[in-house]
Chains A and B, each alone.
Chain A
Amino acid sequence: MISLEKIATLIDGWLHQHFNDVITLLIECVLVGVGAIALFALLGLGLVWMERKVAALMQIRMGPNRVGPKGIFQTSADTLKLIMKEGLTPDGADKLLFNLAPVLVIIVAMLILAPIAFAKNFQIWDINIGVLYVSAVSSMSVIGILMAGWSSGNKYALLGAMRSGAQIVSYELSAGISVLTIVVLTGSLQISEIVQSQQTGWWIFKGHIPAIIAFVIFIIAATAETNRAPFDLAEAESELTAGFHTEYSGMKFALFFLAEYINIFIVCAIGATLFLGGWMPLHIGNVQAFNHAMDYIPSSIWFLGKTLFLIFVIMWFRWTFPRLRVDQLLNLEWKYLLPISLVNLLVMTVIAILGWHL
């Protein structure tokens, strides 16, 4: 059976036969970079199309249906339009930072891709602090938004950036603590070990009620961290026109738009890895027959399926809930989510010490 792992080892072996170690490493770096960019482009096109279809489903409409079968090329046409447009830089803007901000946001999104396990033994960098690395690097993405808001020289943009900053900084806490709840169970920060520890069952099933609470909090915090409705105060069309990217046009706007969808994919991938077993097929304890049947589905399909399911849930939120006010948003985090997740972490620690999770 063809798997991503086999393709990777095949390419690696072929390169080692024909070149020396240094050149092989360089070529592999380039290949990984090209692969990441290709994945970004595909995700951007696919997820935007999916969002519009999900929106249509929620509102009993058709959605895009003219360009290609089921409107599947609609987003490609949109991208083409954005490429043709002029990338304006306003006179009052800080030119350097204005042009740097979208690039920074994309680079941060690309860096987080490194430790994610896409399939069995298929990972760019299996760093031993995987989860910590993700939360560290994702804390940089707020700077790109603050930079965009400030350098636009526009009051709406500045307000949007400030809201976004306050929101991301506060929701990072409960996202981090709900990630820690699972780290307590696995005793490791390495993504591959976290996935491996779910061989006899995913943590959301094995971790009892605290794992489910942590999962719900993680999804709420992830929605807030990616600035999506009902937490899209940073953009809030009805109040701030478009928030921090009001002044952006053409490809620079497209980069922000792309980064938003990449970030959704990444947080959903992390959620799927921590709570739903990543690429690990659905296993029930030691029921061998059932486990073997499930193993026939390739690991990449499992990973992609779980991630897409979580993305669907987040899109579902967007078209179901009305937007929160700023004070409601901060109250929700500081008065409800943070205390709940702290207590939840304590309960989970007790469970892990007593060994009830096995």
Chain B
Amino acid sequence: MSASVIIFYIIAAFILVTAILSVTTVKIFRSAIWLLFSLIGVAALYFWMNVPFIASVQIIVYVGGIVVLIIFSIFLTQKAGDAMPKPVRSRAIWSALAVIFGIAFTCNIIKQYKFIEPGNKNFDVHINDIGIQMLSTTDYGFVLPFEVVSILLLAAMVGCIVIAMKNKTEQK
């Protein structure tokens, strides 16, 4: 086993353990922190794969954005520090069954998929290439999805502002 494989297994174990901890802990804030570590683990996996751009985006979007948002909503919730009640047993059994079924299903699909050796191709993506490809109008260019997504985000932002805006005339 080479060092690279050992590092992969360490990262994978880290992601799995923190993910399991995040759903089994009884304190909601700890759950958010374990989720954070799990997401950082995924970013580490991207670094391991030598795609630092994706890793950075993973950290900016998930760690710097989504987890901070989750933590803020926990802060603004009442009694968020109390331990959550134990789940009802019948519900726990059904959810365990669902998890086992899900794992079996995924394993089955993975088993049937024929993996191809990636070979020793040097995987060096330049950030400039990503940018050019993102805005290129030629074949396999991503300009249309890029613009569609940006319009979607703009609509979401306008929606947020409308919801958050206070109507000043009503207050008077």
Interface of A toward B, CB cutoff 8 Å: 22, 94, 96-97, 127-129, 132-133, 135-137, 139-140, 142-143, 146-147, 150-151, 153, 158, 161-162, 165, 169, 172, 187-189
Contacts and interface: CB of A to CB of B under 8 A. Distances in A.
B15 interface: no
Contact of A97 (B33, B57, B64): B33
A139 B59 contact: yes
A140 B63 CA distance: 7
Given A22-B3, A94-B29, A129 B56 contact: yes
Contacts of A162: 72, 75
A158 B64 contact: no
B53 interface: yes
A140 B59 contact: yes
B7 interface: no
B67 interface: yes
A135 B75 CA distance: 25
A245 to B, nearest CB: 17
A153 B67 contact: no
Contacts of A142: 64, 68
A147 B56 CA distance: 22
B59 A153 contact: no
A150 B65 CA distance: 18
Interface of B: 3, 27, 29-30, 33, 36, 40, 52-53, 55-57, 59-60, 63-65, 67-68, 71-72, 74-75, 81, 126-128
A143 B81 contact: no
Contacts of A146: 68, 71, 75
A165 to B, nearest CB: 6
A165 B72 contact: yes
A227 to B, nearest CB: 15
B56 A132 contact: yes
Contacts, number: 71
B126 A128 contact: yes
Contacts of B128: 187-188
B30 A96 contact: yes
Given A139-B60, A143-B71, A189-B127, A128 B52 contact: yes
A221 B17 CA distance: 37
15 contacts: A127-B52, A129-B52, A136-B57, A137-B59, A139-B59, A139-B60, A139-B63, A139-B65, A140-B40, A142-B64, A143-B33, A143-B71, A162-B72, A165-B71, A172-B64
Contacts of A187: 128
Contacts of B74: 150
Q: Which of A94, A140, A142 has the most CB of B within 10 A?
A: A140
Contacts of B75: 146, 150, 158, 161-162
Nearest to A162: B75
Nearest to A140: B63
Q: Which of B33, B57, B59, B68 has the most CB of A within 10 A?
A: B33
A133 B52 contact: yes
Contacts of B55: 136
A132 B53 contact: yes
Given A150-B74, A165-B68, 14 more contacts: A96-B30, A97-B29, A128-B52, A129-B56, A136-B64, A139-B64, A139-B68, A146-B68, A150-B29, A150-B75, A165-B72, A172-B64, A187-B128, A189-B127
